[in-house]
């Protein structure tokens, strides 16, 4: 058993008969009243995100997990196939437990969180950013705006991302996986 002082980003806990991962937390010490911890929790079984407040010092049930590196092989319907980079075992995971699955390219290495109690995969952590090639983008007209304007573009995985007007088909761009937003153009 852990307490609220042990809460940190990425911690997996058992709460309301489900397993949650801490996405955000904030220790609050108000002027009046007892301290508390405000958290944002993501369910690892259904993907639902909820806000929860724990009183300071409350015991929480920590779930022991381990992380392993897996390489994405290919999608098949709503399932994604991965291979362990160390022992080459293959697993199949449903698309709904992968955040940013539309940005996942074949050969990409991800971190899979595995519950040590029953060796079941709980979640997939994508890399912070991915580099993808733009397959379709409308041509940008120079001089038609005075501010930072964007246009929709389709990348090689089929995902749609808003990019600046100077991005063209064939350009490689860096995309932040947590928000699915454009970061920068990558020189080849």
Domain that holds residue 74: 65-125
Considering 82, 97, 125, which residue would you say is the last residue of a domain?
125
Domain count, the chain: 3
Q: From residue 187, how far is each of 47, 153, 164, 171, 172 by CA, in Å? A: 35, 18, 15, 8, 7
pLDDT at 44 over 70: yes
Block residue for tokens 């990425």: 10
pLDDT at 103 over 70: yes
At 141 the pLDDT is 66
pLDDT, mean of residues 12-35: 89
- Residue 38's pLDDT band (boundaries 50, 70, 90)? very high
pTM value is: 0.76
Considering 79, 100, 125, which residue would you say is the last residue of a domain?
125
pLDDT digits (tens, 9 = 90+) for 55-85: 988 899 988 888 899 999 998 888 899 999 9
Q: Percentage of the chain surpassing pLDDT 70?
A: 95
Q: Quick one: 12 and 53 in the same domain?
A: yes
Q: Quick one: 11 and 31 in the same domain?
A: yes
DSSP notation for 26-48: EEE--SSS--EEEEEEEETTT--
Q: Quick one: 133 and 120 in the same domain?
A: no
Q: Quick one: 10 and 56 in the same domain?
A: yes
pLDDT at 142 over 70: no
How far apart (Å, rounded) are the C-alpha atoms in residues 147 and 167?
16
- Residue 94's pLDDT band (boundaries 50, 70, 90)? confident
Please state the φ and ψ torsions of residue 2, each to the nearest 5 degrees: -110, 175
pLDDT, mean of residues 100-123: 87
Q: Quick one: 137 and 173 in the same domain?
A: yes
Look at phi and psi of residue 122 and say left if phi exceeds 0, alpha if psi is from -120 to 50, else beta: alpha
């Amino acid at each position: 058993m852990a307490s609220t002082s042990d809460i940190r980003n990425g911690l997996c806990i058992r709460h309301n008969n489900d397993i949650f991962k801490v996405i955000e937390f904030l220790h609050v010490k108000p002027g009046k009243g007892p301290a508390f911890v405000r958290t944002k929790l993501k369910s690892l079984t259904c993907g639902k995100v909820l806000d929860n407040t724990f009183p300071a010092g409350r015991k929480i049930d920590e779930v022991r997990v381990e992380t392993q590196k897996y390489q994405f092989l290919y999608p098949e319907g709503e399932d994604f196939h991965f291979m362990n980079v160390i022992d080459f075992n293959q697993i199949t995971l449903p698309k709904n437990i992968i955040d940013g699955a539309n940005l996942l390219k074949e050969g990409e290495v991800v971190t899979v969180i595995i519950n040590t109690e029953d060796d079941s995969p709980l979640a997939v952590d994508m890399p912070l950013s991915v580099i993808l090639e733009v397959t379709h983008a409308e041509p940008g007209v120079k001089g038609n705006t005075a501010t930072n304007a964007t246009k929709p573009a389709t990348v090689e995985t089929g995902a749609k991302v808003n990019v600046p007007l100077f991005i063209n088909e064939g350009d490689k761009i860096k995309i932040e996986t947590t928000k699915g937003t454009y970061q920068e153009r990558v020189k080849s």
